[in-house]
Amino acid sequence: MMQCGLQTFTIRKEMNKDPEAAFQFIKEIGLDHVELARIDFSHQTAELIKKTGLTVMSLQATYQKLHSQFDQISTFMMQVGCQIACVSLLSFGAIIGGKRAILRYAKKLNRLAYEYAKNQIVLAFHHHDFEFRKVSGRYKLEWLIEATDPAVKFVLDTYWVTKMKEDPIQWINRLGERLIGLHLRDHRYLKNGKSTDTEIGNGTVDFKRIIASAKPHVLYGVIEQDTQNPKASIRQSVDHCHRLGLN
């Protein structure tokens, strides 16, 4: 069953000022699950999470951080009972490079997944819009899926897929059992034709279809938004998620 929670990027400023109050806010709005990002993966943070009673579904950080701070992050994940480590974005070289750069990056993901698996931790990858640029006739995301081991899972971001005029359902089906999580982000067009993310239910993304298609494989979905009014935006998104039957 897919669990619904919050991606802490949405309240990163609040987390930086007062992490305990930020965790308490998540509980107060009726969420019990989080994906952690932009926080200090320390013993103190782990104790705050346990004190608040939140369940950590996933932890997200850059490849560099997951690699260079392997021991610290593995210990932290064991402390909070988290078994999914998610790479937040491509390396700069893979973003600007072609097929060879993507294939080199895939090898790095495979090696990192092997190391985390020793601690019973699954490695996943979260995409942006960069992966929907074509190199050698195919999307970078296609090369990445093909070149990584089945042990490397993926987190689909509904905003970035929609922004790039791709159908989320097709990518859910394409990933199949390798899809482990969703970033629940709505999308809308501004008057100037540019895109922005927005509260769930306030944009163009058909979350009802997405959730129905993803449920067989996905373990979690997290609300995420880059907003100037995070608390109000989160409350609106949570209300809509409840209407969709997510808890």
Q: How confident is the model at residue 27 (pLDDT cuts 50, 70, 90)?
A: very high
Label residue 2 by pLDDT band (50, 70, 90).
confident
What does the pLDDT read at residue 247?
74
Pick left, alpha or beta for residue 176 (phi over 0 → left; psi -120 to 50 → alpha; otherwise beta). left
User: With contact defined as beta carbons under 8 Å apart, do 227 and 185 qualify?
Assistant: no
Question: pTM, whole model, 2 decimals?
Answer: 0.97
Residue 146 has pLDDT above 90, yes or no: yes
Where in the chain are the domains? 3-243
206 or 245: which leads in pLDDT: 206
Q: In terms of CATH architecture, what is 3-243?
A: Alpha-Beta Barrel (3.20)
Helix/strand/coil for 18: coil
Angle of helix 43-52 relative to helix 70-80, nearest 10 degrees, comes to: 20
pLDDT confidence band for 131 (50 / 70 / 90)? very high
Inform me whether the pLDDT recorded for 92 exceeds 80: yes
Give me 38's structure tokens: 């932009």
102-131 average pLDDT score: 98
What's the pLDDT at 64? Answer: 97
Alpha-carbon distance of 97 to 81, in angstroms, equals 36
Task: Kindly state the average pLDDT of the residues 227-245.
Answer: 94
Angle between helices 99-117 and 70-80 (to 10 degrees): 50
CB 147 within 8 A of CB 180: no
- Mean pLDDT across the stretch 194-210? 96
